[in-house]
Amino acid sequence: MNRRKFLQAGTSVAIGALAASRLAFGADAEIVVSPGEPGELISPHIYGHFIEHLGGVIYDGVWVGPDSRIPNVKGIRKQFVDDMKRIGAPNLRWPGGCFADGYHWRDGIGKASSRPRTYNFWQRRMPAGTDSTETNQFGIHEFMQLCRLIGAEPYVAANVGSGTPAEFHDLVSYCNAPAGTLSLADERAANGAPQPFNVQYWGVGNESWGCGGMMRPDEYAAKYRQFVTQFPTYKEPFLIATGPRGHSADGDIGWTSGFFEGMRGFELPNGFSIHFYTDLRPTPLKAADFNQPEWYEVLLRGIRIDKVIESHWQEMGKFDTKRRTKLVVDEWGVWYKPGEELAPNYILSQPITLRDAIHTGLTFDIFNRHAEKIAMANVAQTVNCIHSLFLAHGAEFVRTPVYYVFEMYRWHMGARQVPVANPVADLNVPVLAGQARLPGLSASASIRERTLAVTLTNPSVQSPLKTRLRLAGGARVKEARGTVITHEDMTATNTFADPGKVRTVPLAVNLSSDAVELTLPKQAVAMVQCDLT
């Protein structure tokens, strides 16, 4: 059954009521957007980033060194900086990940040639005969330089697993104490940065239930309290506690209740981290080569994040009745099993296809719709690792299809969420275990001043979707523009040899008095911007 027939066969009252307005354009779907009812601000930090000392992420992806022939700004890959600026990257999380709980920040300061070589957590995952000794050439100063170049807020994950509260507090003071106060501020100045870094976002550990210390939630709550009690408040911090492994089969609700139980009577953190990977590692699915059931399997698993966000938020509300603590989804992305790496020692790198771009659109719409709950989210990871926007190897560099979705969605950053009524019926799709239902269209919208932005994802590999965006409440469109990312081949990707295969192109839109009409191609993510009268 094609999509139009499927919709016609549906019993939805809402769809029946649309029949009259559909006549002129023959739309499959009418989406009703209400720009006159702006809701929550979509935190710009939802479109955030993450880089870790792992495989080819920092060394090569970001840091090529000042003596490299690869164009760089004081050692930082220039193309990376330029592209991160283009998408308005709001923040950058560093140095891990699992690496963070083994990292001692003093190893990464001072004269580069005198810095020690140290053990890297990821050594255990490196192919036999390869080495991941940490050279510490990229430390806190280089990280801050990168953030400044991009215009991103630094988000530093502190070492709780093998560090001490004192080490953490010294790092905070080193970063934030005003010039001429503490000896740590003098030391920072001697290392080239007289002015404080003013870091606001601090992660108190990472995955403390796993690589960050194998703790139980009550144990972590006690550590958290210990680590933050004497926090040097040169700048009012946004403290982020370790949250659950959201992609666990049971959603890991026990971690959330256990942590908040352990925090009863104490000041709650500003942020509570959730990690949610669309984790295909236990399956035979490949990143680059797949069929239709495998396309839908990934998308279906990916949208599970919606319920995971909702359920943890509900759980937190039982303890945090004043809603002090917001969610920070500081690792998310599609993670395929090993075997398709860019190079053997670039562990956790994988090809990124149109399927991952569609997954990104679905995820961002979910984040936008949960704007009141989410303070920040960080893709894992920005370059050469898991759900990357970029792949880099020596002089070669390419933007993946995921990059273009970030570029499109940047318009939502800091705008106000707008209600969308999306009556499109579910698709009945093939997946690994047979058939499943997947929402037939994903949408979210926001408004800034007089510009309305609507993002739409059509997950179908079969049918385009003739879509009518109707504006409720008497709003009128003066001008509209569309952009879309799609490709005829669902496995399409960008490579060093063919970097422009999957990218955004203009999408035709027609204006009528209170509506915008467009044909959303199959397997596509689109953005429609409407200037209102």
Give 102 or 521: the residue with its C-beta nearer to ligand AHR.
102
Give the interface segment with ligand AHR, choosing from 30-38, 91-99, 357-365, 485-493 (CB under 6 A).
91-99
- Does position 207 interact with ligand AHR (CB under 6 A)? The reply is yes
Three-state DSSP class for residue 373: coil
Q: How many residues bind ligand AHR (CB under 6 A)?
A: 10
- Does position 97 interact with ligand AHR (CB under 6 A)? The reply is yes
**Count of beta carbons in the 10 Å neighbourhood of residue 533:** 8
The residue type of 238 is: F
Give 381 or 519: the residue with its C-beta nearer to ligand AHR.
381
DSSP of 146-193: HHHHHTPEEEEEE--SS--HHHHHHHHHHHHSPTTSSHHHHHHHHTT-
**Which residues are known to be catalytic?**
207, 331
- Does position 252 interact with ligand AHR (CB under 6 A)? The reply is no
Q: Is-cis flag, bond preceding 97, omega within 30?
A: yes
Residue where the block lists tokens 């981290």: 273
Q: In whole angstroms, how close is the CB of 200 to ligand AHR at the nearest point?
A: 21
Q: In whole angstroms, how close is the CB of 220 to ligand AHR at the nearest point?
A: 14
The residue type of 185 is: A
Residues 372-401 that bind ligand AHR (CB under 6 A): 380-381, 386
- Does position 102 interact with ligand AHR (CB under 6 A)? The reply is no
Q: In whole angstroms, how close is the CB of 120 to ligand AHR at the nearest point?
A: 11
Residues 24-63 that bind ligand AHR (CB under 6 A): 52
Q: Judged by CB under 6 A, which of 7, 89, 92, 98 binds ligand AHR?
A: 98
Three-state DSSP class for residue 194: coil
Three-state DSSP class for residue 113: helix
Q: Judged by CB under 6 A, which of 90, 95, 96, 439 binds ligand AHR?
A: 96
Give 380 or 507: the residue with its C-beta nearer to ligand AHR.
380
Q: How far is Cα 51 from Cα 80, in angstroms, rounded to an integer? A: 12
Q: Judged by CB under 6 A, which of 43, 72, 173, 206 binds ligand AHR?
A: 206
- Does position 407 interact with ligand AHR (CB under 6 A)? The reply is no
Strand-pair category, 326-335 with 477-485: unpaired
Radius of gyration of the chain (CA): 23
Q: How far is Cα 95 from Cα 62, in angstroms, rounded to an integer? A: 12
Q: In whole angstroms, how close is the CB of 96 to ligand AHR at the nearest point?
A: 5
Residue of this chain nearest to ligand AHR (CB atom): 97
- Per-residue burial over 97-129, b if 16 or more Cβ lie within 10 Å, else e, is bbbbbbbebbebbbebeebeeeebbbeeebeee
- Does position 331 interact with ligand AHR (CB under 6 A)? The reply is yes
- Does position 142 interact with ligand AHR (CB under 6 A)? The reply is no
| Chain centroid offset of residue 362 CA | 12
- Does position 328 interact with ligand AHR (CB under 6 A)? The reply is no
Give 98 or 175: the residue with its C-beta nearer to ligand AHR.
98
Give 58 or 520: the residue with its C-beta nearer to ligand AHR.
58
**Which residue, 383, 389, 392, 413, is CA-closest to 402?**
389
* DSSP E strand stretches across 472-514: 477-485, 504-507, 510-512
Binding stretches for ligand AHR (CB under 6 A): 52, 96-98, 206-207, 331, 380-381, 386
